[in-house]
């Protein structure tokens, strides 16, 4: 993604955050029933230690707010439930903003890097209620990709936000197994469409100095 941005140099500022940690057994590892405190102060009851990715992703979303982005897009191989729902053909798209969702869907269509918008009704968050913390890190099996997105939404504030669950689309298995590179095509079309025609480096530099942070991926 950022190699492509460096080569195409669209006239838009992009901040990329990569929340990463090592997931290995340890005497201090999380246990079901533990309560942890997120970066923005919300407490989280850990009901499933296999849903650990969202525990670092929610802090990255909180951290992104310091850049004051006009839109925030996170991408993650977050849930097996999204694979069950959509297979490998389309990435799952969840968005708090209709205009942002429409732009991402159109970019995916143009890039042949398809996504499908999934619901974010407030009722889906009921299963995340906890008696011991502000929120649980998982709900039940039903609608697992949606409840994961509802968990992340709690940390987005008022920033227009979209979540792409690429658990099914990020790679292929079988004889042609390997990474697909998705959703780079979708995101590049989205950013190029927002910035307009890419500009030469000499002109782009001046534009970037005056531009606010536009997108966080």
φ/ψ of 46, rounded to 5, equals -85, 105
The confidence score (pLDDT) of residue 149 equals 98
Query: Quick one: which H or E segment has residue 7?
Result: helix 2-8
> What residue ranges do the domains of the chain occupy?
2-19+31-216
The confidence score (pLDDT) of residue 56 equals 96
* Residues in the chain with pLDDT values less than 50: 197-217
> Could you tell me which CATH class the domain 2-19+31-216 is placed in?
alpha beta
Rounded-to-integer distance, Cα 13 and Cα 5, Å:
10
The confidence score (pLDDT) of residue 25 equals 85
The confidence score (pLDDT) of residue 206 equals 32
The confidence score (pLDDT) of residue 201 equals 39
Rounded-to-integer distance, Cα 216 and Cα 70, Å:
8
Rounded-to-integer distance, Cα 11 and Cα 14, Å:
10
Rounded-to-integer distance, Cα 207 and Cα 209, Å:
6
Token digits for 193? 């469409």
């Amino acid at each position: 993604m950022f190699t492509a941005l460096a080569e195409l140099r669209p006239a838009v500022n992009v901040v990329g955050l990569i929340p990463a940690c090592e997931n290995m057994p340890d005497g201090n590892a999380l246990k079901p029933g533990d309560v942890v405190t997120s970066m923005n102060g919300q407490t989280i009851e850990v009901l499933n230690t296999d849903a650990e990715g969202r525990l670092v992703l929610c802090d990255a979303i909180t951290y992104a707010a310091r850049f004051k982005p006009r839109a925030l897009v996170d991408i993650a191989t977050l849930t097996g439930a999204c694979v069950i729902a959509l297979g490998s053909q389309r990435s799952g798209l969840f968005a708090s903003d209709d205009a942002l969702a429409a732009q991402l869907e159109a970019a995916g269509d143009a890039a042949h890097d398809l996504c499908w918008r999934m619901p974010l009704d407030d009722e889906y968050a009921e299963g995340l209620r906890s008696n011991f913390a502000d929120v649980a890190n998982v709900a039940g099996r039903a609608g697992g990709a949606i409840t994961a997105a509802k968990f992340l939404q709690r940390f987005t504030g008022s920033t227009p936000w979209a979540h792409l669950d690429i658990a099914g689309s990020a790679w292929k298995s079988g004889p042609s197994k390997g990474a697909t590179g998705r959703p780079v095509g979708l995101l590049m079309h989205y950013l190029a469409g927002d910035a307009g025609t890419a500009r030469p480096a000499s002109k782009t530099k001046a534009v970037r100095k005056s531009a606010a942070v536009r997108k966080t991926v």
